[in-house]
Copies of this chain bind each other. A is one copy, B any other.
Amino acid sequence: MLASSAILAGVAVSGAAQAQDIDFTIAVSIPAATHGWTGGVVYHAERAEAEIEAAYPNVDVIVSTASSATAQVSALEDLTATQDLDALVILPFTSEELTGPVAQVADGGTFITVVDRGLTDPAIQDLYVAGDNIAVGANTATWLAEQLGGEGQIVVLRGIPTVIDDERIEGFTQVIDETNIEILDIQYANWNQDEAFTLMQDYLARYPNIDAVWANDDDMLLGVLEAVDQAGRDDVRFALGGNGMKQVIEMVQAGDERTPISTPYPPSMIASAMYMTLAQFTGQAPMRGSFLLDAPLITPENADQFYFPDSPF
């Protein structure tokens, strides 16, 4: 059986691509495309899988998506039951539910790369890759404070109650607190475009003057913009998000006056984590540690560097 499979494989491949043994197996466990950002994660993970397997025929990358924390736990069980994983790159659905299952995978000797949402016990991971959420908030606030001359009235939308959201808000409010800008209100809209639309309608009904709104995330920004446009409110001089969503970068590129900047918190960080994990195995490159992505302002001048036309996000 084995011998004839090998012969068949030999017939099927061209001169360039010889059938090779797989030396390393890297599993990538990510949330399914439940919103724009995770849609980008799935796109970039699958793209990096193809790129890596083309460059390294001896590496097998397995991308597995899950639509809930429970489904992700099951997916981990399936992945480890059927093969020996050299590495697991995981963007945990939730920290609490995934910590135990990932610890079990680590106990089996698998290199663990955690992306974005940390586990409850950081000692489990070998490599941590994340965006700088404090900088996302602080860089946005610094720009806004300068534009508003250090005064005015603004509203803020929060995401899902998580460390990520806490950090963004912390970075933002620390800068704003040192100005005369008043935060009229700050409420959760769960990184959801529809909820952001509804919350912004409420803000607009309650506050006759809003100089600027910070939506904390570009998905929510789209809902905010719709609400402001429907209300025909000209007082809103700036409406800012964050994450570097494709549609928002297009606004930045076009010189939109209300949304002239964004900050990257790119879903392609899953690819960064995959390439870094790969280097641990294909090179002698030590990759244990923490990689914190910068969050530079995306402006009309540099927007093309953050724009991936084929990406859904």
Residues of A within 8 A of B (CB): 15-18, 44, 47-48, 51, 55-56, 132, 264, 266, 268-269, 271-272, 274-276, 278-279, 282-294, 296, 308, 311
Contacts and interface: CB of A to CB of B under 8 A. Distances in A.
B293 A272 contact: no
Contact of A294 (B275, B283, B289): B289
7 contacts: A44-B284, A47-B283, A48-B284, A268-B286, A271-B283, A286-B293, A288-B296
Given A16-B16, A48-B283, A51-B282, A290 B288 contact: no
A284 B16 contact: no
B308 A286 contact: no
A128 B262 CA distance: 23
B289 A293 contact: yes
Given A51-B282, A266-B286, 12 more contacts: A16-B17, A47-B284, A48-B284, A268-B284, A268-B285, A271-B285, A272-B286, A272-B287, A275-B276, A275-B285, A288-B296, A289-B291
Given A289-B292, A290-B292, A293-B289, A51 B283 contact: yes
B284 A271 contact: yes
Contacts of A264: 286
State the number of copies, please. 2
Given A275-B276, A285-B271, A291 B290 contact: yes
Contacts of A274: 285
A286 B278 CA distance: 15
Given A55-B55, A55-B56, A276-B276, A288 B293 contact: yes
Contacts of A276: 272, 275-276, 279, 291
Contact of A272 (B55, B268, B282, B285): B285
Given A291-B291, A296-B288, A271 B282 contact: no
A287 B296 CA distance: 12
A296 B279 CA distance: 19
A308 B284 contact: yes
Contacts of A47: 283-284
A288 B48 CA distance: 17
Contacts of A296: 288
A48 B279 CA distance: 10
Nearest to A310: B284
